[in-house]
Structure formats: structure tokens, C-alpha cells
Structure 1
Amino acid sequence: MSVGRYRIEKTISRFYREIDEILDAVGVSGDEFYQDLHAFTSSNEKPTDVQQSESEEYKSTSGHAARVGCRKSELLDATQTGDITKLENAIAWIEFDGVQADLRNELFDAKSRIRNEKDIKRVHRAMIDLRPSVVSELRSYIKPPPVLHTIMLCTFILLGMTDESNLGWNEIRCLMRRQGKASLFRAITQFDRRDVHKNRCRRVLKLLDGIDFRSAVEVSEGAAIFYEWLRDMTRDVS
């Protein structure tokens, strides 16, 4: 054996002894550490579009429980911000670390949050480009689901096109059929929520009590479009 190779092997041996001493000091199994290290360095799975540098907290810990705690904290932080990109990044790291089973409930909530946020953005875009076909589809109901009836009633109350809280569906359909200056489209494009009295908004919110975005979108995308518009127009009312 050459002198150079002997020195290299001696240095490597000393390096591993020092690692073992550190692991003993912090109470971590050497086998567990090397298995985790091997799994991490040999894995071919890489999160897409995720920042590749690990957090300082993650670098300073080892072991399965530590990974779960770190990833859970990152996911909860991302959930509080409501930032879809951060949520998707946090989920990608959880899947990369293979701790999905430990964070099953948190992952379900986070993915539901992402789905809802994307649905809401899609609905907002749809309201900006509201098509006559959307209103025609809603008007085609003969006996609408109660959720749809309530949403459209609230829409016309907020627009000031009716003051009746118990307006029947046939009357609502008539309002949806109006054309020209009295049309639903014109009323929405000219609507300014700053001009609406808060009492009117409170009436709408009271009628909408018990209805959420998910129940609206399950009826139809059109119902969800008007529901989100109502929530957006009344969001500052207490």
C-alpha cells in the first residue's frame, strides 16, 4: 500500500470515528443514520421546481421523527400563508422524504386547500368573462337545487334588482331573462359595492349562511361563479 493511500484511509477512518462519537452524544443510532444517509443520497426522486437547499432546522436534526416534525412545521407555515406555490413546495418535500403516512391528515387538508384556491381563481376568471351560456344553463333548471336558488336570489338582492327574500324560482328566471339596460350582465358590470348599504349585504350573508364554495361548485360551475362573486362583494361586511 502506498503512503498516500494509507494516509487517505487513515483520515477516512478518523472521520467515521468522529461521526460515531457525535451520534453517541446526541443519542442517535449509527445504523439509522447511515441508512437515512444512503437513502437520501441514492434516491432518484427529486422534487420539481422546489428550492433544493435544506432549511437550517432540517440540517441540524436527523432521524425519522425529526424529518416528520420539520416537514409538518413547513407545511403548516405554508398553509397559514395561503400561498399555493409554498404549499406545493412543502408537499413536494414531504413526498421526497417519504413521510406522507405520518402527515396524512395535514396533506389531505393542504391538498384540499390547493384545490379550493385553484377553483376559486378559475371562478374569478370566469366571472370577469361571464358568458351568456353560463346564465342560460342556470336558467334552464325547472326545479333547481336549494343552493342554486339561494345563490341567485342573493345575487339579485345585492344588485338591487329585488328586495324580496322569498322570491320564487320562476321570478328569478324572469330576472335572468332580462335584456338590454335591465339585464343581469349590465347590472354586474356596473355594480360598485361601495354604493351598497351594509344592511343589504348583511341580508345576503344571512341567506348564504350554511352554503360554502364546495357545495356551490358541486351544483355547477355557474353556481360557484355567482357564489364567489357574492362573497367577494360582501367580504368587508361584519
Structure 2
Amino acid sequence: MNAIRQPVVSTSNVAKSFGGFTAVGGVSLDIYDSEAVAIIGPNGAGKSTFFDLLTGRKIPDSGEVRLFGEPVTDLPPWQRVRRGLGRSFQISSVFRNATVLENVQIGLMLARGRAWNMFGRASAMLRQEAGAALEQVGLQAKRDMLAGDLSYGDQRTLELAVALSTKPRVLLLDEPTAGMGREESRKCLELIRAIAASERIPIVFVEHDMDVVFSFATRVVVLAAGKVLIDAEPQAVRSDSRVKEAYFGEDI
């Protein structure tokens, strides 16, 4: 008898409103091992709010979020990280005046719910774990540089290292190539693809760049007006007339 496949992340009818505006209007979604799931939609579709509900930056008004079968609906981001969720954000959030290595150490401390003191014992902690994460993304040689001196693409790669340092079982990425040039974007995607494949980490990502979406995703979820319009393989989404209408008749 085959075992029932359990989603790594699932939402059940999650909803979030701000004043009289419904940003997410009841979204149910299951994410499984080895998937790369893109969340797309026109402006105002609810993508960013839904992502925040997954990461814990916002709490839904109703519905439930589960991580590996356990309810995490009311848990803050750091507690979700401790349960295996890795995340990065649309805007680079590195500490510019800290070194590359210190950024990863800070991320590790915060993910474990501990205060960071750059001048105390914490500064000497977790160096091995932080160094291993930098090695994984190819930034080991720049570990002693100030993060603010890195190129934008390397800052985004550093943010990925911070997410990976916590040994996530699922990775949530908010516009991972935002602000990058074509070559930086290509290298970033190749890196994420290689790491996800080697570690068998499922990925959920919000993205505006349709070239990125259709070259990387194994599944695409389109939101429109806070609800799921279609959830299917990339080619089926690309040819769906409802999707073209949601994007005001544009080809995607």
C-alpha cells in the first residue's frame, strides 16, 4: 500500500484583509518535496501578502498554515525557521557595516531566537556553520569583506547563504533575481537550482520576471484578486486564456 504523500508546506483557506481591502481571499495550496513553485500574478494580486503569510511576517485573519504537517499559523518567522523554513526577501536585507561572515553568523543567531552582540562572545560563535554556508554559495573568499562593499548580485547571494545556513527543509524566495542584470540573474538561478537539487530542497518563489519563472519553475500558481486563478505546469499556465486576461492581454 502506497504511503500518503505529505506536503512540506500547506495553506488552508488563508485570508488577509487591510481595512476594507481583501489582499488574500481564501487560498489553499500544497507544496511537495522537490518542487519549484512560482507564485505569480498581476500587480495587486496578493503575491507579497501571501508570501508574508507563509513566512510569518503577517498572520492570517482566518485559515491555517502548516509546515511539515504541523500548524504554524500564529508562529513568528524565527520559530518557523527553527522548524525548517528558509527565506529571503525582495529587497536585500544584509547588514552593510558587518562582514560577510558576520552577516551569516547574525542570521544564525536570530534564527535561533538569540540576541546578537557583535562585540561579545556571540561574535566568535557559529563560525564553522557560517563558513560552510559561504562555501556553498561561493562567497568564502569574500568572508572578511564588508557586506556593503559587495556587488548587488553578491549581496543577494549572501542573503541566500544566510537562508541556507539554517539547513532549511524548504526555501521561500521573494523575487530572488530582483535588481540583477541578465548575467547575474543567470548565475543566481544556476546556483539555486544546483543547491536545491543536491539538497532536495523544495522552493517556493514569488517572481515578476516571466523568463525566470518559465525557465525555473516546475509548477506555477497564478493569483488574481487574492485568489488562485490556476495552479498547473508552466506550459499549461502560459497558454491559459484566463492568465492572459489577468495580465491585460499580454503574452507571458
User: Which has the larger share of helix?
Assistant: 1
Q: Larger C-alpha radius of gyration, 1 or 2?
A: 1
- Asked if these proteins are the same fold (TM beyond 0.5), I'd say no
| Normalised-by-shorter TM-score class | under 0.3
User: Which has the larger share of strand?
Assistant: 2
